[in-house]
Amino acid sequence: MFEALFSLSWVTLWGVTLAAAAPLALAALGGLLSERSGVVNLGLEGMMLVGAFTTAWVGLFGPSGVWGAMLGLLLAGCAGAMLAGLHGLLCLWGKADQIISGVALNIFASEMTIFLALWLYGTKGSTGILDDTLAGISLGSLRISWFFVLVLCVWLVLEILLWRTVWGLRLRACGEHPQALYSTGISPYKLQIVAVLASGFLAGLAGAALVHGAGNFSKNMTAGRGYIALAALVFGNWLPRRVLAACLLFGFAYALNFQLQALPSNKIPSEFLSMLPYALTLLALVGWVGRTRPPAALGKPLDI
């Protein structure tokens, strides 16, 4: 194994790390918005999946070139936001259990995208190959995904929005003590639905990043990344910079898996390497139990 590690191209490894971390970070930062408002969003996996399917559909049947790619991103975000809106409707107005709602939406998104793929493409497997419009930018021999640049922009906006604006103060208050916020004449419901919709939009963009990275859509291609994004959220203690760092760590595990499997000299079983991101997620969470503090009102239905 150590011989394989020394055989790696580290520049390529870091480029793949940034590309692998981008969808995790977009989904995790979206989840941060929702959970800072007090709404648990376990449906990130499903929102990523519908975003990925929408991007692939636009890429195959929509306009080509940069404008087609931009349209795909916009519609992917909207698809994720629509599923998030259903989550908000069930949890905020229907008072449904937020965890059950999120898991149910993940199952619904998985089966719906398989059905639509069968209907549109005649197969439950993968769609056709998309063009490479959003491949990335090159800095010397290092190739940086455009989606990671988007991640940095989203992270910067959230850092400013949550800690340097009145709206951010109200959102955090909504997740800590919504009754106190309501007593000032501000509706926690409005803040929560905006946060949930924004989380779905970012998760949809995360799905688009997966499709552009893979070159096509395949069934259940998220492969648990929505749950890993939630783990990064916990690991990062609901703070944007720490969440981003956690996503880079998990992205490195994905990149190491891909790079080691591609080496001719590698003798490690591919099944073992495929476990790396998930094993690292479990180890990180086990080592971090008791050191994090979620928003006080997280997952609690509003009683105002």
* Contact criterion met (CB below 8 Å) for 165 and 93: no
Residue 244 lies in a domain: yes
Name the domain count of the chain.
Answer: 1
CA dist., res. 236 & res. 226, Å (int): 15
Residue 298 lies in a domain: no
- The proportion of the chain whose per-residue pLDDT surpasses 70, expressed as a percent, equals 86
At 144, phi and psi to the nearest 5? -110, 130
pLDDT at residue 303 tops 50: yes
Residue 28 lies in a domain: yes
Residue 121 lies in a domain: yes
CA dist., res. 49 & res. 123, Å (int): 17
pLDDT at residue 202 tops 70: yes
Residue 297 lies in a domain: no
Residue 284 lies in a domain: yes
Question: What DSSP designation does 127 have?
Answer: -
Helix crossing, 98-121 with 65-88: angle to 10°? 140
Residue 195 lies in a domain: yes
Domain of 243: which CATH number? 1.10.3470
Residue 37 amino acid letter: S
* Contact criterion met (CB below 8 Å) for 203 and 226: yes
Domain region containing 165:
2-288
Residue 112 lies in a domain: yes
Contacts of 85 (CB under 8 A, 6+ apart): 193, 196, 197, 200
Instruction: Read off the pLDDT of residues 163-190 as tens digits, 9 standing for 90 and up.
Output: 999 999 999 999 999 998 988 889 999 9
- The proportion of the chain whose per-residue pLDDT surpasses 90, expressed as a percent, equals 51
122 CB burial (10 A radius; 0-12, 13-18, 19+)? exposed
pLDDT at residue 102 tops 90: yes
Instruction: Read off the pLDDT of residues 267-300 as tens digits, 9 standing for 90 and up.
Output: 667 677 778 778 877 887 776 656 778 898 898 8
CA dist., res. 199 & res. 81, Å (int): 7
